[in-house]
Structure 1
Amino acid sequence: MSWSLLSLPSSRFVVPRCLGSCSKVTSSFVKNSYFAGSYVKSSYVAAPLRRFAIMHKSPAALVERLPPKGLEIHAPRDPNTLANYNNFLTTHTTANLEIDFEKRRLLGNVVLLLKSITNGEADKVVLDTSFLDIKDVKVDGEKAKWALADRMEPYGSALSIQLGGGVEKDKQIAVDIALSTTDQCTALQWMTPAQTPNKKHPYMFSQCQAIHARSIFPCQDTPDVKSTVDFNIRSHLPVLASGLPTGTKDFRPGKDGAPSTLLYTFKQEIPIPSYLFAVASGDLASASIGPRSTVWTGPEELIGCKWELENDMEKFLEAAEKIVYEYAWTTYNVLVLPNSFPYGGMENPIYTFATPTIISGDKQNIDVIAHELAHSWSGNLVSNASWEHFWLNEGWTVYLERRIQAAVHGEEHRDFSAIIGWKALQDSVERFGEDHEFTKLIVDLKGKDPDDAFSSVPYEKGFNFLYYLEKLVGKGKWDKFIPHYFGKYKFKSLDSYDFKSTLLDFFASDSEASKKLNELDWDKWFYAPGYPPKPDFDDSLVKVCYELADKWQALAQGKSDAFKPAQSDIGPWTGNQCVVFLEKIQTWEQPLPVELVDLMGATYGFAASQNVELVSRYFIIGLKAKASSVYKPTSELLGRVGRMKFVRPLFRGLRDADRKLAEETFEKNKDFYHPICRQMVEKDLYGDK
């Protein structure tokens, strides 16, 4: 790879994104610069004390050069933002927004406090926007000139705001933007009363990850920037937002038949990235599920949600605190959303947004909550600096989730969950192809939409890397590193090179661990596509699942007359053991014969199961076998569930079995799906158009 320095302003030097071998440079500059994953915000870099590496032709060839005196380095490291956050950083966001359910808009104004991190270098602020209607812009109370650039897919339109001159370092400016969202907003899902469970009131919720906050308000839409937030949200229905509630006030009677509204206020005093900006409004009720936890959902669903969740919330919290450190966000609450929510959960601070598919009536699926809770440390307090390093969010979160499971349920459950995760990793690698960019731990997302790279790879490959490191240095030593890491980067963002340098520094005084870590092939872990080395997981909980699958395979091949399937085969199993059994059958090269698909569904109750984790996997087996008995039920399920984990593979399976029905099902339900889900399913069915 070769690169050159182009069009450099005289007052700064832009350091390129560091590749694998750059992480081997050990000069003090690297430990305190972009390569280490943070801005050099302190005093000017003084030669010859600090050095930087310049890459020529290949990552292996490094040349050290001395920077000029007086040079400041502010290198952006997120390729998926148009904002000039190398000149200004958002320190506080105030969102004054009204929810207009009739027009399906948020309208109002947002005030960004921006701190200059260069000395008069930039005379404009550039922010991310996407499909926004910008009404007016003020800077420090005065009208400002602004321009909206042509849209650049997939990143939106850059909003440039003229400042009339440079801003001295550390000075703050207030940028006040009047705006309205539009019907092309990708972060908001609007639901009519008919689309909600009780069919009485409309509903709205946001989903900003990865780069969709810019479609709600102009911002520095990058996880490398964090700010505190004040939410002032007006609605005629109850509101939740990703901050602590501070009151409900300012009753405003409706006019001309419109409903009366209230102003709901929330304050987030811990700095958060834009993708954690969240708001929801609808017919909501709440119930306590622990000493510091509440569940929110529709009134009719409240009792079931409370029953499903109340026994485990505090256990999960206490287990996580023992692994990392004290929970920082005061309360941990769960909003169980309507069926169209596209993810298992979204780790919005204070209020996890959760899929209703976790409410299965058997308490078998609430490990999703352990995952989202773990995000309270990994992702929310300590964030990946860009989506190229997404594994730092999700790999760590899966690791902590499984440590929580081990603490609550027993150590064997951690490896059992990891085995299920390995199957999910296999599915993603097979779908992309083993040599695909998106199967790497660190991915190249320049010019790409981070949503296109979304898969189990950062989750499971990331977990396996951390699991490998735990085994490499020893669990006792590793457990001391965990709170150190999350303490060092608390309230900050980092990249993979920060992680590496922090790990090496922590174990530098331990000769045995240090030797192992320095001999590790870091470049292979970071940049090699495909599978990581498969650990030797404890398979004690999966053996019975595999043994039963083997019996079905022998039956399918006509090699067994003795096996007579009965419900007692799976009687004592957990839901996850049934998942492992079904996923084992999915791996067979030859599909299960149609008559055995039907026999399995009836005998084990999979065909009529209310647990979507089970019935969806059973339908995948049936679709692969071209069992017509599952076609209509699959189509019906796709009209009730919007979680992409289920929707996308089911649509792909239905597409291959009955394309006409798949397309009809999508056209019938596309308005039910979240915009993110709808876009991804369109690609699955029709390709990139």
Structure 2
Amino acid sequence: MLLRGISLFQRVRITPRVFSAARLQPCSPAHPAQVQVQAQALPYHPAVVSPHATFQVRFFYKPNMPVRDPSTASNYDAWRTQHTTANLKLDFKDKCLRGLVTLELESQTDKESKEIILDSSYLSVSSVKVNSAESKWEVKDRAEPLGAPVHISVPAGAGKGEIVKVDIEVATTDKCTALQWLTPSQTSNKKAPFMFSQCQAIHARSLFPCQDTPDIKSTYSFRITSPHVVVASGVASGDPELQSGDEKLYSFEQKVPIPSYLFALASGDIATAAIGPRSLVATAPDQLEAAKWEFEHDMEKFMDAAEKLVFPYQWGQYNVLVLPPSFPYGGMENPIYTFATPTVVSGDRQNVDVIAHELSHSWSGNLVTSCSWEHFWLNEGWTMYLERRINASIHGDSHFDFSAVIGWKHLEDAMQEFGKDHRFTQLCIDHKGIDPDDAFSTVPYEKGFHMIYYLEGLVGRQNFDKFIPYYFKKWSNKSLDSYEFKDTFLEFFSTSKYADLKGKLDSIDWEGRFYTRGLPPKPEFDTSLIDVCYKLADQWKDKNFKPSTKDVEDLSANQKLVFLGEVQNFEEPLSTEQAEKLGEVYELTKGNNVEIKSAYYAIAMRSNVTSTYPLVAELLGEVGRMKFVRPLFRSLNKVDRELAAKTYEKNRDFYHPICRAMVAKDLGVSE
């Protein structure tokens, strides 16, 4: 096999631009521009000789293997899912989802592929039919991290473009990683059980066999039977139909093609209320009014700002599902229904800006998607950029910079955690042989943001704003990699209209930006909103400082968090008396803002303010988000081991199993 006259394993000079069926991997940390070109499905790949970069070329010929995504075992180059119908029943007693899933797959070859390979993980598959006829199939041995692929025989193959229907009878097992089942005691009103899914990154394969890759997008039909209200990542079609007993059939359609990780379900005691002309909030009935008040003021403002920046919203409805308090995560951008942490509902509308992030995913990530988790920054970097632009349009440009400065601090923290030379600090990360969850961090979010922000600064915001809708229109309903993004950017600015930018465009070190480890170059930001936080923190270093409520009356909740973060990081902690005054004068334990409460409690426990220990224990019985629960338990354990153990034992059934296991490990107690 040759790459246009280049023999195997020969060191050659070729351009970094390889065609879409090739995958780029760094050869070594020392030489991020050196890559392996893996051609996996085609007999050869053209490459253009160039004097500009040295690459090591290795060629692997693997028929019927995926081209761009190493996190799937499916042969999606030979078959592509066009539509998925999920007829599933929720069994709360056995904590199981079971039923019939039908995949409609389009053949990409002319009868060359004789089998369909689907991803699966910890599933019980009982029957497989191809075009309504029994078919030979086999669940192969499990291989981490990809799971146990299902091989389905299609002896005659199918002509190119022909649709093959695959019916699969399937049930989840107790090892399912996509579903979380909550007991009534884990919900706010404690009346009914609750179930929700979390499929990102590669957990959809534990719901049903599928092509579990963001490089494949499918439309969906949901037919979900449950004794409790169901919401899904589709638009409801008709009223629920009464089935046997107290069960109802809920139907949804998702006509915009989505990747498998955006398949989402939730079921429980759920009520809804309008928060805008095209938006609902859904949550437990006893939490509905509070959630409605929290979001209704800003929801349509966010949508209007986003549409002006990109183009009109494509999904019909944008709704928010506020999950039970034991929900251990922050949020998930499922189409139609964003799944959100209940800590967003703080009673002061100070945390609703997080909705701007999830809404932005309606364009970046959901509509235009990275083709694999190696290029995850295309989802999250763009989303951080859009979120900050949306908030700036509502609150002012200084808020863009304020958020970016906070984000830079988070990026520095990630670099410190990984080590600046760790491969997970690259923008593009080789995922071969690793679980995408293991590489998850703020790096694709913030380093990705800085990639987009760098390009904006290079061409100017006015020009970049014209590129934004162009990019999202070109790639709507599609998936792409970093090099296709690069090509799209250069394509847009290659016209004579932007001839004056040629020198700047030629200066972009794309390989360095994609593969260099550690922090990117730090831009200059307006620090006016953050400087006041640092100034106030510096005043608290003086033991004779006399605080006043006026110190914080003009600070937003996020500014207070920056201030508290600085105080928490003092080399010498506040005295007990100072820490008490901090909480009392600034009223940091009042209200429902868990972000502020937890930040203050961390300071108070470090300063041995014993009066706050019962308040910490009380909060730990109300909130299950691991962002707060784990650090608070660790701090409480240091100052009052007995109270920490009692608090855990009292609330262990309230916590999500993942959270419960992590806290037990932190405390050194049995789960």
Please report the TM-score for the alignment, with normalisation by the length of structure 1. 0.86
Kindly indicate whether residue 277 of structure 2 is the aligned counterpart of residue 298 of structure 1. no
In the other structure, the counterpart of 1:257 is none
1:514 aligns with one of 502, 512, 519: 502
1:604 aligns with one of 572, 582, 586: 586
Secondary structure of the 1:77 match is coil
Distance 2:49 2:65 in 1: 16
Kindly indicate whether residue 607 of structure 2 is the aligned counterpart of residue 616 of structure 1. no
In the other structure, the counterpart of 1:581 is 563
Question: Retained in 2: the 8 A contact 1:139–1:176?
Answer: yes
Distance 2:71 2:646 in 1: 34
Identify if the C-alpha distance between structure 1 residues 214 and 239 changes in structure 2 by more than 3 Å, giving closer, same or farther: same
Distance 1:659 1:523 in 2: 50
In the other structure, the counterpart of 1:60 is 54
In the other structure, the counterpart of 2:463 is 477
Kindly indicate whether residue 112 of structure 2 is the aligned counterpart of residue 147 of structure 1. no
Question: Within 5 A, what are the aligned runs for 1:463-502?
Answer: 463-502=449-488
Letter in 1 for 2:130: V
In the other structure, the counterpart of 2:536 is 548
Kindly indicate whether residue 159 of structure 2 is the aligned counterpart of residue 171 of structure 1. no
Kindly indicate whether residue 174 of structure 2 is the aligned counterpart of residue 183 of structure 1. yes
In the other structure, the counterpart of 2:293 is 307
How far off is 1:350 after superposition? 0.9
Choose 393-402 or 596-605, whichever is displaced more: 596-605
Letter in 2 for 1:490: S
How far off is 1:636 after superposition? 4.2
Letter in 2 for 1:51: P
Distance 2:254 2:219 in 1: 6
Identify if the C-alpha distance between structure 1 residues 468 and 591 changes in structure 2 by more than 3 Å, giving closer, same or farther: farther
Choose 564-573 or 98-107, whichever is displaced more: 564-573
Question: Retained in 1: the 8 A contact 2:23–2:68?
Answer: no
Letter in 2 for 1:566: S
Identify if the C-alpha distance between structure 1 residues 387 and 587 changes in structure 2 by more than 3 Å, giving closer, same or farther: farther
How far off is 1:592 after superposition? 3.6
Question: Within 5 A, what are the aligned runs for 1:120-139?
Answer: 120-139=111-130
In the other structure, the counterpart of 2:34 is none
Identify if the C-alpha distance between structure 1 residues 195 and 64 changes in structure 2 by more than 3 Å, giving closer, same or farther: closer
Structure 2: gaps of 5 or more residues: 3-7, 26-40
Question: Retained in 1: the 8 A contact 2:82–2:106?
Answer: yes
Kindly indicate whether residue 359 of structure 2 is the aligned counterpart of residue 388 of structure 1. no
Secondary structure of the 2:465 match is helix
Question: Retained in 2: the 8 A contact 1:423–1:583?
Answer: no
Question: Within 5 A, what are the aligned runs for 1:605-684?
Answer: 605-622=587-604, 633-650=615-632, 653=635, 672-674=654-656
How far off is 1:220 after superposition? 1.0
Identify if the C-alpha distance between structure 1 residues 64 and 443 changes in structure 2 by more than 3 Å, giving closer, same or farther: closer
Distance 2:153 2:650 in 1: 46
Choose 261-270 or 417-426, whichever is displaced more: 417-426
Structure 1: gaps of 5 or more residues: 6-14, 38-43, 255-259, 556-560
Letter in 2 for 1:554: D
2:521 aligns with one of 533, 557, 562: 533
1:206 aligns with one of 193, 197, 205: 197
How far off is 1:434 after superposition? 2.0
Distance 2:24 2:314 in 1: 25
How far off is 1:677 after superposition? 5.0
In the other structure, the counterpart of 1:160 is 151
Letter in 2 for 1:610: N
Distance 1:455 1:651 in 2: 22
Question: Retained in 2: the 8 A contact 1:53–1:62?
Answer: no
Letter in 2 for 1:321: E
Distance 1:294 1:265 in 2: 18
- Across the aligned residues of Structure 1 and Structure 2, the Cα RMSD in angstroms comes to 3.3
Distance 2:203 2:406 in 1: 30
Letter in 1 for 2:597: V
Secondary structure of the 1:340 match is coil
Question: Within 5 A, what are the aligned runs for 1:253-268?
Answer: 253-254=244-245, 260-268=246-254
Please report the TM-score for the alignment, with normalisation by the length of structure 2. 0.88
Distance 2:143 2:553 in 1: 55
Question: Retained in 2: the 8 A contact 1:252–1:262?
Answer: yes
Identify if the C-alpha distance between structure 1 residues 307 and 225 changes in structure 2 by more than 3 Å, giving closer, same or farther: same
Distance 2:70 2:649 in 1: 34
How far off is 1:84 after superposition? 1.6
2:271 aligns with one of 280, 285, 292: 285
Distance 1:440 1:156 in 2: 26
How far off is 1:486 after superposition? 0.7
How far off is 1:679 after superposition? 6.6
How far off is 1:190 after superposition? 1.1
Question: Retained in 1: the 8 A contact 2:23–2:67?
Answer: no
Distance 1:445 1:404 in 2: 32
1:116 aligns with one of 88, 107, 110: 107
Distance 2:347 2:508 in 1: 46
1:398 aligns with one of 373, 384, 387: 384
Distance 1:653 1:233 in 2: 43
Secondary structure of the 2:174 match is coil
| Alignment length (residue pairs) | 644
How far off is 1:508 after superposition? 1.8
Identify if the C-alpha distance between structure 1 residues 101 and 111 changes in structure 2 by more than 3 Å, giving closer, same or farther: same
